Amino acid sequence: MSLQVGDVIRFERSFTVEDVELFTKVSGDEGAHHVAPDEQGRLIIQGLLTATLPTKIGGDYNVLARKMTFEFLRPVFTQDTIICEVEIEQFEKQGERILITAAFLCWNQNEKEVLKGYFSGVIV
């Protein structure tokens, strides 16, 4: 594993109307703001769908999450491009496992922060 403390992983993603529709079906979160477009034709993305951005790192590095904290700062809309930056704060081998803790910050194309938090877990 090539990660170490201080590494920063950055990626971006835009959510589509189809993404929101699928997440609505899977989650049952059918708030009107998720199913009825605003005057610009956008939907507000569910908070937990937005929260999948930092969990991508877990998938990329086989992290079994133990704790996750999210602070939702402003809405994310379809048509937004969200940049997510994850910084590794702990990466420590303990026996057969590696403990990992990371902080993350996500912002939109207008440089407005939309989500921040941290996660911790193990890599086995």
Domain ranges (residues) in the chain: 8-14+46-123
Query: Considering only CA atoms, which of 68, 35, 26, 70 is closest in space to residue 50?
Result: 70
**What contacts 84, CB < 8 A, 6 or more positions away?**
10, 11, 12, 13, 53, 54, 56, 104, 105, 106, 115
pLDDT in tens, 42-77: 999 999 999 999 988 888 989 999 999 999 999 999
Fold of 8-14+46-123: Thiol Ester Dehydrase; Chain A (3.10.129)
Arithmetic mean of pLDDT, 83-98: 94
Rounded Cα distance between 67 and 55, Å, is 11
pLDDT at residue number 1: 54
Above 90 in pLDDT, residue 31? Answer: no
Q: Give the residue with greater pLDDT, 37 vs 77.
A: 77
Per DSSP bridges, beta strands 97-108 and 8-14 are unpaired
Contact in structure between 88 and 99 (CB atoms under 8 Å): no
pTM: 0.91
Arithmetic mean of pLDDT, 84-102: 95
